[in-house]
Chains A and B, each alone.
Chain A
Amino acid sequence: AIQLTQSPSSLSASVGDRVTITCRASQVISNYLAWYQHKPGKGPKLLIYYVSSLESGVPSRFSGSGSGTDFTLTISSLQPEDFATYYCQLFNNDAYTFGQGTKLESK
């Protein structure tokens, strides 16, 4: 089975910072790569699908890119509400796989 490895596992940043989270697949994958934001006590929120398509209503400071085995989520200018855990997700062979998550904390 294809595995997704996110880096870093945790990250400290300040409001206004540019933040990049990486998701690496154990083999070349299709473009069925999504990113989610998850806050405690709430359901996850879809940010990006198909590697780089921004979900409706998601601020444009969020962007996704990549191909092959390496993918990134970038937050161009961190806002206070962006502190959360972020997950990448792959859809392959009628099943979904998540990365282990990246916890973004306030410095």
Chain B
Amino acid sequence: EVQMVESGGGLVKPGGSLRLSCAASGFSFRGAWMSWVRQAPGKGLEWVARIRSKIDGETTDYGAPVKGRFSISRDDSKDKLYLQMNSLKTEDTAVYYCATEGLASQNNWGQGTLVTVSA
């Protein structure tokens, strides 16, 4: 069974940093492209970032609101996906989901981890 479990969320002050992790199982992680998607309280879904597999160059893409502040990475030896979040703003408060990339879509999702940015 495909499973993703996010962790690392919590309360952080504006300007601070946080690193989220996503532990994957039940599929070949090293061959998978992966994304982070978030949902702010009372708002809709917003795509955050994507990373390709190592064999496809391990290149990355970012949504405009987080470009230059967030960094997505992966450790295929541990079947883990990461999101390093720097210079956090109150508007980054959200539940963050990791997901596998399907055909121009995300086809398997975790349950999410809550990040709260507040003074």
A residues lining the B interface (CB < 8 Å): 1, 32, 34, 36, 38, 41-46, 49-50, 53, 55, 87, 89, 91, 94-101
Contacts and interface: CB of A to CB of B under 8 A. Distances in A.
Contacts of B119: none
Contacts of A36: 45, 106
B45 A38 contact: yes
B110 interface: yes
B46 interface: yes
Interface in B92-111: 97, 99, 102-111
Interface string B39-62: 000001111001000000000010
Contact of A49 (B97, B102, B109, B112): B102
A63 B78 CA distance: 38
Nearest to A100: B44
Contact of B109 (A45, A50, A96, A98): A45
Contact of B104 (A32, A43, A87, A98): A32
